[in-house]
A and B are shown apart, each in its own frame.
Chain A
Amino acid sequence: MVTKFKEALNSGKFVVTSEIGPPKGTNIEGMLHHIDLLKDKVDAMNVTDHQSSVMRFPSIGGCLSVRERGGEPILQMTCRDRNRLALQAELLFAYTRGVRNVLCLTGDAVPVGDHKEAKGVFDLDSSQLLRAIRQLESGKDLGGNDLDGAVQFCAGAIVTPEADPIEPQLIKFEKKMEAGAEFFQTQAIYDLDNFAKFMKYARKFPVKILAGIVLLTSARMAKYMTDNVPGIFVPQGLIDELAAAPKGEALKKGIEIAGRMITALKKDSLCDGVHVMAIGKEEVVPDILAAAGL
């Protein structure tokens, strides 16, 4: 069975995905609100998996909520917190509950999060997890044992087009593809010329690429990201544009920038769609889409 998200990827339309961040705690009202806000506006919603190594309500739990409310979930799975038994078990469970899209990630390091003394697992890495999915689809687990009922997933991974140096990243990108990635959602991109270079290379391969759009909320935030977040480079021009926004209107400017970038990507058919990450500001994702004319 082809998932709704996969159908969208194959349809040739400009695909839009967004992100749901589960709460720290049992109050899921905010998350449900965001799901309701976005479920009809995007083709699928990624549910993050202890993003930045911060312990939260689980990704699979968020995905079930997305399903219950009629949305299309993409289960983000990192290799940081589970060994190969737990990862496979969760894939079996996800499949039975109709969660059929998976984004495979290695996962942020433990020390960047809020349980700094925890053990990082990394029994598998992102490309091995992709291969595990393809193995489970063949009816066998990673131990080579027969499954009573196999799985089928639309599996994807991430790539960082602004990584420096880029070559090792591209080798990993190709390995993930060989391992079974059908789509890629990229780390945030801001320099469209650089991204066009990456796409010229990526277009050689039969995979779908969704450009990562992270909402810039202020000049300070943009500067912080460019200085501190691996693989993110915000051109000075955009930082200046945010800084020049009238007091209290930086967010509005950020929405405008995001909308403008999406419009440009779509106009030039640079990639197959976008993955919009508003990190804590999910409320304004519809505004970003509106600004992009989507």
Chain B
Amino acid sequence: MHGYAGQWLRVDLSSGKSWVEPLDETRARRYLGGRGMGARILLDEVPRGGDPLGPENRLVFAMGPLAGTFAPGSGRFVVLAKSPATDGFGEAYTGGFVAHELKYAGYDGIVVQGRAAELVYLAIVNDRVEIRPAGHLAGRGTLETEAAIAGELGDRETRVISIGLAGEKRVLYACVMNDTDRAAGRTGLGAVMGAKNLKAIAIRGTGRVTLADPKRFREHALADLAKIRKHPWLGDSPGSAGALGTAGGVEDLSNAGILPTRNWETGTWEYADRISGTAMKNTILLGHRACQACPVGCTRVVQVLGGPFGGVRPEYGGPEYETVAAFGSLCENPDLEAIALLNQRCNVYGLDTISAGSAIAFAMECFEQGILTEREIGFRLDWGDAPAMVRLLDMIARREGVGDLLAEGARRAAAKLGRGASDLAVEVKGLEFGMHEARGKKGLALSYATAPRGADHMEGFHDPSLAVPNAWPELGVTEAMDRFILEGKPRVVRLAEDYTSFINCLPLCSFMSLTVGGIRNTDEISGMLSAATGWTDLTFAEEMAIGERAYNLARAFTVRESGGTADDRLPAKLSRRLRDGASRAQVITDRDLQPALQEYYRLRGWSETGTPTETKLTELGLADVARQLAGQGDGR
């Protein structure tokens, strides 16, 4: 089977056994890889109501048919498990060099089950798989862990997936890290890895990935590269993601009133220019680098030698947009060097910068309102107090003092605090918002409310992309739409989600696709997929169906685990008017959302309460999932 390695690695940490399972082509074509394969495995193998931190959870690492090739943006894999943050579908994508290496080692994915008796790491050198003791790596940061393991295996080309202290301590937004500064950030999968006593996975692969039609594959890849290089944001321009990073647009966001500021009080900030990509370029930036097979290179590389936030090293990369906003405007902290240090500590500890910044901003507002006191915290926590932010971040990673409470995430922390704290927690289903203001992007509010992971900025679409007509004719989206309007958006949200979901099954970097990056490259991606696999009869409609199938699997998992109530609600903050700026006075309440929600469910073929119907699931070839949702056991 071309494009694929043709087998998955299975590891049971309880018994210490590992084995391989062949991947058959029918299954590959239905689910592709990435999200599709991962969600299928979670539904099949994680028991209903299972403990996310128990041995029964599955930790899945999934590639697809393009990893290992030079398809632009193919250096990508996805980590999945039942999420300890949301108790629903847990998933996080990451770049770097691991995806290619795992394919060369001979695997399309790994499923880890059980729990090791003591801290261990998994060493994979081609077909040799070994579970090795990792007690000496306990508490170590990413870089130290990687160096120690590469030394033990005697090969500096070894690639490493690992967790830091936060994962070991089961912080509910701990990441799975790889290649030092790449993070599978969201939904707390580092805690799942920690709960399995799995410190790291080391990979070395010297095999190959073959293609059904190398010549045609190469032509499509070159055509895709040409489009990417000509793209205003991903190409060579001075304002591109390569030149300025993903934080290049911070000032524009502030001007549009959608830069999350002061725990979502406002969307505009007077100090936006101090934390932007341009500010970074003019101060702490050494340069940029790329993930494997990426022509863009949005990764920042920064250095801060001395001063109060010194010791920031180039090995740990630098802050991207989400991080800049979460530790910057959201906490009203204008100090870019502090943001760089907080980013580095998150990479060392293995913490999701979005949820960590959100937890600190939440705590700052609690402090301001007297819900959390100086005595409870141990120090004052005023807006913009960068040294206090660093102290608090350390406490979260170590679960010390109030850090232990905040390590539970905003929803759980607010519930424990009471005193009206829940009004200050900005999350859906337990997942904190990505740094995107839904009151100024109404279509995004719908996908925040409904996405399988919770408040997910990567599923739907960002309304400003549709400000001009003919944005996505491939999807039948031709009319320009106002970003403050919800009418007409449910159809577009659904289409964008299904196409993005297809991209997530490959998986390919979202930036190098139509719905997120805005590149008109659907033909090139189809071309590469069919030339890699030999599926010459592959159509765009089939790709959309693959995306929709995977989306419904993810949704079904979240619905199954929530006991049937989808909890598609927006947080209280969004019903408060944005204080000032170009999106001033905008709100969106659950009542505003209802008509759009019902229209969206109808378009999706879901019930009035948001459960995928038997008809829809059967149409997608998932009749067995309908039986699971009807309460007839789980997939086992």
Q: Decide if A and B are genuine partners.
A: no
